[in-house]
Structure 1
Amino acid sequence: MTLTAEEIRILPKIVLHDHLDGGLRPATLIELSAEIGHELPTTDPDALARDFAQNANSGSLVRYLEAFSHTAAVMQTAANLTRVAREAVVDLAADGVIYAELRYAPEQHLEGGLTLQEVVEAVQDGIKEGIAEAAEAGYGIRAAALLDAMRHLDRSFEIAELAIANRGRCCVGFDIAGPELGFPPSNHRAAFQLLRENLMPVTIHAGEADGAASVGEALGLGSARRLGHGVRIHEDIEGFGTDEEPVFGIIAQHALDEQIPLECCPTSNVQTGAATSIEDHPIHELRDLGFAVTINTDNRLVSGVSMSGEFAKLVEAGWTLEDLFEATLVAAWGAFLPYDERAELAERVVEGYES
């Protein structure tokens, strides 16, 4: 079945892995940069978007990460954080997203004098404004925030406390982000212990820049309810990608048995080397083996993607409407929301695919 771009756009979508500082509107980045005297590669919105996308596809991690120095520079005031969050929600809603979890690291937004709590509140104000603006435009979207701690730094316990203090109001979960290789979850043992004691939902970047051992720590020590990316979990499956009968290791078997959602980001995974191409992405076989795969953007501006675009690429790689539906339903049930609210999300997904 061939789906048109418009048919894909109006499908209900759920994004569980979208970085706030990776999804600014190019025009907004240009405007805010001019206000603070920050120099960008270009001041033409289309050219800037192309520049970031080219860097992301260059195979150079240094060039890929360059974009975040620009976006972080303009996200140091409450007003700018609120605006960026508001626009993110509006843009996602227009792309058919009915629920979004936006993640960000509060510790990266303190250079303008804000406190961690003020950062959290500024982002929450933007999320609320974005939901209201989207509703005025005829889009029904829910959105929430995940707080990231930077795994190569030492404030994870403080960010865990912040997440717990804002649970249910400005935050629905906790994550560790940043360089995965060399910075395992075990570096943040105290933070994860605190989160477990307070029953705080946790997702952890794992199985992107490091292999199955990183995933194992995320699931065990970190008690992760979801895996950020998680695609390299296939390294714990003997015979993966061959005609042989797969043999699951303990880590992969656990993720399969518990139906741990994998927050796959197809284009980003190719750009960072976690997958060789969309066509050969592990998401396809992981789906066929019964893993709980979901579809996500990661960084909309930096990677030059949208949820509709990711859906379209998967369709080109052979995904059917039923495949998209099942992945979206997995995402609905994997949301860090109360059970009844997840059930309502799932119902919206079912209704959207039946119409």
Structure 2
Amino acid sequence: MMDFFQNVPKIELHAHLNGSLSNRTLLELGAMKYGKDNPGPSNDECFYRITNGQNLTLKECFQKFKYAHDLTDQPETLRYATRAVIQDFAADNVVYLELRTTPKKTVHMSKKQYLTTVLETIRTAQNEIPSITVKLLPSIDRSKGLQEAEENVSLVIELCQEYPDIIKGMDLSGAPFGTRFSDFGNILKKAQAHRLKMALHCGEFEDDDEIQAMLEFGTDRIGHGTFIKGVNLQNAKKRGIPFECCLTSNVKCSTASSYEEHHFKKLWEEGFAVCICTDDFGVFDTSLTQELRTCSEIFGLTTQDILRLQENTIRYTYANDEEKHKLTEIFNNFRKTMKID
């Protein structure tokens, strides 16, 4: 069974760049920035708590990213980090990846330089790591306010002209506390007007009105969806909006009490559009292979189910028709090789 989970082709639709830095990559980045004898800040209590497998609150989880942000604040380390993340996903036999990151202004880079560095690294990786197709969903961190959101959307629209094959949508994420989705609606509509898809973090906390507003706005996919219930849940199903389920992330952030109680079970059994994602594999010490294995062990999914789950995910990607056809061929070839009807 382990060989199957490792070898099955995989599609990852919800992965944050800075949350997907392995411990090895973090150490390498620390050595690059601070020198081998002093590999960077080492007193981040949240970082050590989370890598030691302790459950955290959602607020505490977001604190972990400060460590990764510090190590990717210049073009050289950001380029190294982006390539390392792509390599790690490819090594896990991920054949299609939609990566997310928020454009950041640092003392070493403008927001445009930040995003261009990530985009150029992705473009280079397409030739150097041909086994994986990578797209980018630039993010809005809602905790940073409306001006930052406006800047990010304008920048993304500008860069879409140069990177239309890579930028396929936008993400709304970040700590939701103290913000309202309705404040971001008009800004996001500008992105929609340029044919950018919406992958919104939705239902990460209990707020039926906000969830309803996101559904009515027209999100193309639902990030997490942990607390979507009742009428909102049925409306999501009626509209066929895919849920991006991140099992380990939700359990370790305590938004799901256990794997057994995770909402993926209900979504899968009741025929919702749903896919499995890692969210932040570096933060939560997981992989897409491990997440699929968990689906089998906890929810009883067979190898046929796992393969069908991944094949269904092709439809939820923001890939073009030619890319979707190639992904379908990859899975057809895997079926033939494994002699799975």
What is the TM-score when the length of structure 2 is the normalising length? 0.88
Letter in 2 for 1:66: Q
Q: Which runs of 5+ in 2 are unaligned?
A: 35-39
Aligned to 1:209: 205
Distance 1:210 1:156, change over 3 A: farther
Counterpart of 1:256 (choices 234, 237, 241) is 237
Counterpart of 1:346 (choices 328, 336, 341) is 328
Contact 1:102 1:146 in 2 (8 A): yes
Aligned to 1:101: 98
Distance 1:210 1:272, change over 3 A: farther
Counterpart of 1:32 (choices 20, 29, 33) is 29
Deviation at 1:15, TM superposition (A): 0.4
Does residue 274 of the first structure (1) align with residue 269 of the second (2)?
no
Aligned to 1:242: none
C-alpha distance in structure 2 between counterparts of 1:170 and 1:118, whole Å: 16
C-alpha distance in structure 1 between counterparts of 2:47 and 2:149, whole Å: 32
Distance 1:210 1:151, change over 3 A: farther
Letter in 2 for 1:289: E
Contact 2:200 2:219 in 1 (8 A): yes
C-alpha distance in structure 2 between counterparts of 1:259 and 1:354, whole Å: 30
Does residue 227 of the first structure (1) align with residue 222 of the second (2)?
yes
Aligned to 1:335: 317
Deviation at 1:193, TM superposition (A): 2.1
C-alpha distance in structure 2 between counterparts of 1:158 and 1:217, whole Å: 23
Does residue 132 of the first structure (1) align with residue 104 of the second (2)?
no
Deviation at 1:112, TM superposition (A): 2.8
Deviation at 1:122, TM superposition (A): 0.6
Classify the secondary structure of the residue corresponding to 1:227: strand
Counterpart of 1:302 (choices 283, 292, 310) is 283
Aligned to 1:312: 293
Classify the secondary structure of the residue corresponding to 2:151: helix
Counterpart of 1:86 (choices 64, 83, 91) is 83
Distance 1:212 1:341, change over 3 A: farther
Distance 1:282 1:39, change over 3 A: same
Does residue 19 of the first structure (1) align with residue 16 of the second (2)?
yes
Distance 1:278 1:354, change over 3 A: farther
Contact 2:14 2:98 in 1 (8 A): yes
Contact 1:87 1:130 in 2 (8 A): no
Distance 1:66 1:49, change over 3 A: closer
Distance 1:63 1:118, change over 3 A: same
Query: Percent identity of the aligned residues?
Result: 26
Aligned to 2:116: 121
Classify the secondary structure of the residue corresponding to 1:76: coil
Aligned to 2:154: 161
C-alpha distance in structure 2 between counterparts of 1:31 and 1:94, whole Å: 18
Letter in 1 for 2:65: F
Distance 1:276 1:123, change over 3 A: same
Aligned to 1:241: none
Q: Which runs of 5+ in 1 are unaligned?
A: 43-47, 237-248
Deviation at 1:301, TM superposition (A): 0.8
Contact 2:220 2:242 in 1 (8 A): yes
**What is the count of residue pairs matched by the alignment?**
325
Deviation at 1:327, TM superposition (A): 2.2
Classify the secondary structure of the residue corresponding to 1:102: strand
C-alpha distance in structure 2 between counterparts of 1:170 and 1:183, whole Å: 29
- More off after superposition, 301-310 vs 178-187: 178-187
- More off after superposition, 271-280 vs 147-156: 271-280
C-alpha distance in structure 1 between counterparts of 2:198 and 2:61, whole Å: 26
Classify the secondary structure of the residue corresponding to 2:129: helix
Aligned to 1:246: none
C-alpha distance in structure 1 between counterparts of 2:329 and 2:211, whole Å: 31
Letter in 1 for 2:195: L
Q: Any runs of at least 4 consecutive aligned residues in structure 1 with deviations exceeding 6 A, and if so which?
A: none
C-alpha distance in structure 2 between counterparts of 1:49 and 1:150, whole Å: 20
C-alpha distance in structure 2 between counterparts of 1:354 and 1:257, whole Å: 34
Deviation at 1:266, TM superposition (A): 0.5
Does residue 148 of the first structure (1) align with residue 139 of the second (2)?
yes
Classify the secondary structure of the residue corresponding to 1:231: coil
Classify the secondary structure of the residue corresponding to 2:64: helix
Letter in 2 for 1:194: K
Aligned to 2:181: 185
Contact 1:201 1:225 in 2 (8 A): yes
Letter in 2 for 1:259: G
